[in-house]
Structure 1
Amino acid sequence: MLSRALLPVLRDRLTNSAKIILLYGPRQVGKTTLVRQVLTELPLRKLEINADELRYVDVLSSRDLNQLKLLVDGYDLLFIDEAQRIPEVGLNLKILHDGLPQLKIIVTGSSSFELANRTQEPLTGRTWTYTLFPIATSELRAQYNPFELRQLLDQQLIYGAYPEVFSLPNQQDKAQYLRELSTAYLYRDVLEMANLRYPDKLRQLLRLLALQVGAPVSLNELGNALQMSKDTVAHYLDLLEKAFVVFRLSGFSRNLRKEVVKMDKVYFYDLGIRNAVLNNFSPLNARPDAGALWENFLVVERRKRNAYAPYPALPYYWRTYTGAELDYVEDVDGQLAGYEFKLTKKASNAPASWVANYPGATYAGINRDNYLDFVL
């Protein structure tokens, strides 16, 4: 079993803090497994509740401290899995936390939209919040040396990093698992979050986004292609973000007249899901989109690294209207670092306009030979 980066963090918070812990993340990414692993290390009497079980929902949505006390009587810790399914879960957790401050509480949810909306206001100042991603390269490093990680790279680019992918014995099983995961879970959370009028459009939108990884995305163009309004596309994209399917990267600028900022880039949290959306699990050396896969991989692995570190970097891409561009930029307290991503080792210099506009910024090219420094 891979040791997850958040395990010591959650263990420390449960041991030394009285706040409620909220753990977000996509379905099947290992949230329940991680929490159970943490709990086995703590000498506490634990009550685990799956919010899909109706027998608990009435009590946990009752707003009645007496009922809540009866539920947790005799336990030191309450673990609620998939808590977004409980009506008014935030208010009830507040009542429970304030009424039984000695009770430790940890809560998971696969939808940041549902759970955040229901917990944010009632639990202000009462929580520690974390996100669990698919397996990070930094987590693999605990079991694999740099040579072995490089041997795994092609698999990560094609089949992604969901935990079960690493345990399946062959490529056919990996592909079948990802197809089933994308249909059984991917759309389920998004469709449950909102009463979408055109669910088929959501699948079409995901396919278009998968084809445009690495390029700035125009909501107007997507709307025209899907025969939807720009606002509807923006709404669907927002739902996909909150269900941990995709995320956006904005353009960096300190000179709005020269630099592109109106369009975001969109990346997938997991490349296996991205390739399942396109139904394409061809080997890397046979793919015209290898460069896009490489860029998505590096951006999402850097996102995981910075989240788990934690590292206070603001991420962007950079592009000018004259065509100069950098795939990725980080701003850390005003210090800029620019990066260009190339699968093969290829010497390159920073764009002249980047150097001229940001003379104090650093620049590096990231390729197969040196990528581990970037993602670790």
Structure 2
Amino acid sequence: MYINRLIEKSLRDAVAKKKSVLLLGPRQTGKTTLLQRLSPARLLNLANPDQRQRYEKRPAVLIDEIHDLEAESGLPAGKAGVPPLVVIDEVQKVPALMDALQVLIDEKKAIFILTGSSARKLRRGSHINLLPGRVLAYRLDPFRREEYAKGSLQDQLLYGALPVVVLDPTPEAREQALRSYVTTYLEEEVRAEALVRNLSPFGRFLELAASESGGLINLRKPSQEIGVSHVTIGSYFQILEDCLIVERIDPLTRSATRKKLTRGSKYLFFDLGVRRLAAQEGRRLPLESWGRLLEQWVGLELLRSMRQGPGHLRFWRDATGPEVDWVIEQEGRLIPIEVKWTETPTQQDARHLQTFLAEYPEAEKGIVVCRTPHAMQLAPRIRAIPWQDLPKIKLS
């Protein structure tokens, strides 16, 4: 069963304008399935060892193949004067191809959609051409609530939103799919790219990082528990970020009155099901865990909805006072958002939002996301909404 992805329209629009695209996203988020719907003239999968080795030996062979594809079309620029669409899956596997791609894009020989599940080699490798100004960059995440609304809240917090997981009908099959993902795609991806020489401390770090997802990035605690340096822990966090496993969220730090606002970033695992298995947690979670998971779910939904927009997701925290879980910052305006596990929110749940609204005139309203069955007014300019209504949040 195919589930429509919201990003598909943007990709079709880019291709219609003869623009090439770099589509990044974690493994198994549905990139290949989505791009097959665009009916490419050629689809190259560099995760395939035979294809990968051919281009590793001579990257320029791609230029010859695209010229041959152009000749096969019978027209100088593809059918009806439109360059052929070529998809190259897992392009980071052969970063040397980027120079050949630059030539082909400049010559308008084809429209390319390049996919990658790790930005590390593309961003940090030496002599790698990132095709600046030549491609449009997009990100494909696990399902958003707007794309796939089935399943209870608890299911979404336990199993996440990877297509290969949520489309499986039984809890046991979902659990096995997540376990396979953690061992195959997290541990082996790191090993295959030679990112870590000694996997044992990294494996322990991965478990700790998953357990602390949603919190501030802390180098000291895992350094002490694992017995490696702060520098090593920092490099581990960078690996997770570059491999699209975690996302960094920076705080809102400007204030006319407060001097002790947190300046450190916090992070989220890209998928709550992967997070749980990486943390080696079962399906029976203590009551206090659900609120933290709902907060992370809200953060992930907000991040995904803001991918292509001008805004940023922040959080707000005074080391000695109030804090707000999430703050949408967009076009000079702010929306503070608190997340509560309660089904019966009260004005007490809005107290930090009231403080925020009083201190930031560019914030016109605040929102409490919780399990209430109906939206309700908690205080002037502050409403509680059901978690299902999160996609409806707008600045206006």
TM-score bracket for this pair, using the shorter chain length: 0.7 to 0.9
Residue 331 of structure 1 aligns with which residue?
329
Corresponding residue of 2:16: 15
TM-score, scaled relative to structure 1: 0.87
Per-residue Cα deviation, 1:205-261 (whole angstroms, up to 9, x for no partner): 222122223332321222222222222111111110121211122221114722111
Amino acid across the alignment from 1:273: V
CA RMSD of aligned residues (A): 2.4
Name the counterpart of 2:137. 129
Segments of structure 1 that go 5 or more residues without pairing to the other structure are: 142-148
Write out aligned runs for 1:15-94 (5 A): 15-17=16-18, 19-39=19-39, 46-51=41-46, 52-55=48-51, 57-59=53-55, 61-63=58-60, 67-70=64-67, 72-73=69-70, 74=72, 76-94=84-102
Q: Deviation of residue 31 (structure 1)? A: 0.5
Cα offset for 1:287? Answer: 4.1
Aligned match of 1:95 in 100, 103, 106? Answer: 103
How many aligned positions are there?
357
Question: Given that residues 162 and 271 in structure 2 are in contact (C-alpha distance below 8 angstroms), is that contact kept between their aligned partners in structure 1?
Answer: yes
The alpha carbon displacement at 1:106 in A equals 1.3
Q: Distance in 2 between matches of 1:338 and 1:120?
A: 40
1:266 aligns with 267
The TM-score with structure 2 as length reference comes to 0.83
The verdict on how the C-alpha distance between 1:339 and 1:66 changes in structure 2, with shifts beyond 3 A counting, is closer
Mean CA deviation greater in 83-92 or 345-354: 345-354
Distance 1:363 1:47, change over 3 A: same
The percentage of aligned residue pairs carrying the same residue is 29
The amino acid that maps onto 1:374 is: L
Structure 1 residue 120: Cα displacement: 6.9
Pair 122,68 (structure 1): closer, same or farther in 2 beyond 3 Å: farther
Q: Which runs of 5+ in 2 are unaligned?
A: 74-83, 373-385
CA contact (8 A) 1:317 1:326 kept: yes
Whether 1:162 and 2:162 are equivalent positions in the alignment is yes
Q: CA deviation at 1:327?
A: 0.6
Q: Which structure: greater helix fraction?
A: 1
Higher relative contact order (CA 8 A, sep 6+): 1
Query: Distance between the aligned counterparts of 1:66 and 1:164, measured in 2?
Result: 34
Report the CA distance between 1:80 and its aligned residue.
1.1
Asked whether the equivalents of residues 66 and 110 of structure 2 are also in contact (C-alpha less than 8 Å), the reply is no
| Counterpart-to-counterpart distance in 1, 2:69 and 2:234 | 42
Aligned equivalents of 1:152, 1:179: Cα separation in 2: 21
Structure 1 residue 354, shift from structure 2 partner: 2.4
1:184-263 paired onto structure 2 within 5 Å: 184-255=184-255, 257-261=259-263, 263=264
| Conservation of the 8 A alpha-carbon contact between 1:29 and 1:132 | yes
- Following superposition, the deviation at residue 138 of structure 1 comes to 1.2
Kindly provide the amino acid, as one letter, of the partner of residue 178 in structure 2.
Answer: L
Is the alpha carbon distance of 1:97 and 1:160 closer, same or farther for their aligned partners in structure 2, counting shifts above 3 Å?
Answer: same
Superposition misfits of 4+ residues, deviation over 6 angstroms: none
Quote the residue 2:320 is aligned against.
Answer: 322
What is the Cα deviation at residue 303 of structure 1?
A: 0.9
CA–CA distance in 2 between the matches of 1:355 and 1:6? 33
Q: Which amino acid aligns with 2:102?
A: K
